Structure 1
Amino acid sequence: MAPEGFAFDHDERAAIAEHDGGVPKRYADAFARLQQEKPRGVDLARWRQAMQDGGLFLDRWGVTADALGWEVADVFGLDPVAPLARYDAMGLIWLLAGATVRLLDERSATLSTGLVFRRKQHGRR
C-alpha cells in the first residue's frame, strides 16, 4: 500500500526512474515495488527512510552498482520472515539510515559513517 495521499502507478514510477533518472531497469523496477507497498515487519518511518535513501543511492550510484554486478537483493533485499533482524539478508538501503555511500566497489560500499557494507557474493550476471 502506498503512503497516504500518494498516487501510485508501478510502471509509471519505474519508467520515471529509468528514463528520466537514468536508473538501470532492474533497480527502477525494484524501487517502484518498494514505493508501492511497505514490506511486512517494517515500520512506516523505516520504510520512508529506505525510500529516501534508495532514491539518493540510485541517483548517485545506480549505474555504477549495476556495472559492478550488484544484485537487486544487494541493494533492496529483506528477509521475508524476519526483515529487520536478518542482517545477512538485508540490502544496503535498509542499513543507510540517512548515511550516504562514499565509495562503491564490486564487494562493498563504504558509508559516510565509516561503516562498510559487504555485499553477498553472487555470480556475475
Structure 2
Amino acid sequence: MPPCPGFSAQRWQEMREAAIDFLDRFGEDAVALGWTATDLFGVHPTVGVVRVDYCGGLMINARRVEAIGDTWIQYGNQTFRRDRPGRPVGVPVWEAQR
C-alpha cells in the first residue's frame, strides 16, 4: 500500500525495491557521509511526492542508485543534490499523512 499521496501501488513497489537496493549497497556509506532520513526518504508532510521539491534522493524516481557522494546521489545521467540552497525539508515517507 502506498505510504503517502502521489504514489500508485506499482510506483511505490518500484520505489521500495530501489530503496532497499540502495540500503543494501550504499547504506553504510550514506550514514558515514551524513545522509539523513529526510535527505533520502523525505516527502511533503501532507501531499507526499506530489511536491517533488520536498522529496529526498530515494523518493524522486525508482531508478537504482549507481553512486553516492557526500552531497549527491547518481542514477545514470540524473543526479540528486542534497545541498541545494533553499531546498524545503520534508518528513520521512513513513511520517507523511495518508
TM-score of the alignment, normalized to the shorter chain, above 0.5: yes
Establish whether residue 101 from structure 1 lines up as the match of residue 75 from structure 2: no
**Any idea what SS the aligned residue of 2:73 has?**
strand
Higher strand share: 2
- Which residues of structure 2 form unaligned runs of 5+? 85-98
**Following superposition, which runs of at least 4 residues in structure 1 exceed 2 angstroms of deviation?**
none
Give me the TM-score of the superposition, normalised by structure 2: 0.74
Supply the distance in 2 between the matched residues of 1:95 and 1:40 (Cα, whole angstroms): 13
Percentage identity across paired residues of the two chains: 30
CA 1:87 to 1:120, structure 2 compared with 1: closer, same or farther past 3 Å? farther
**Any idea what SS the aligned residue of 1:45 has?**
helix
Give the alignment's Cα RMSD to 1 decimal: 1.7
User: Does 1 or 2 have the higher relative contact order (CA < 8 Å, sep 6+)?
Assistant: 2
- Which residues of structure 1 form unaligned runs of 5+? 4-37
The count of aligned residue pairs is 83
In our comparison, the structure showing a higher alpha carbon Rg is 1
**Any idea what SS the aligned residue of 2:24 has?**
helix
Supply the distance in 2 between the matched residues of 1:71 and 1:117 (Cα, whole angstroms): 14
Contact 1:74–1:120 (CA under 8 A) maintained in structure 2: no
Code of the residue aligned with 2:79 in structure 1: it is V
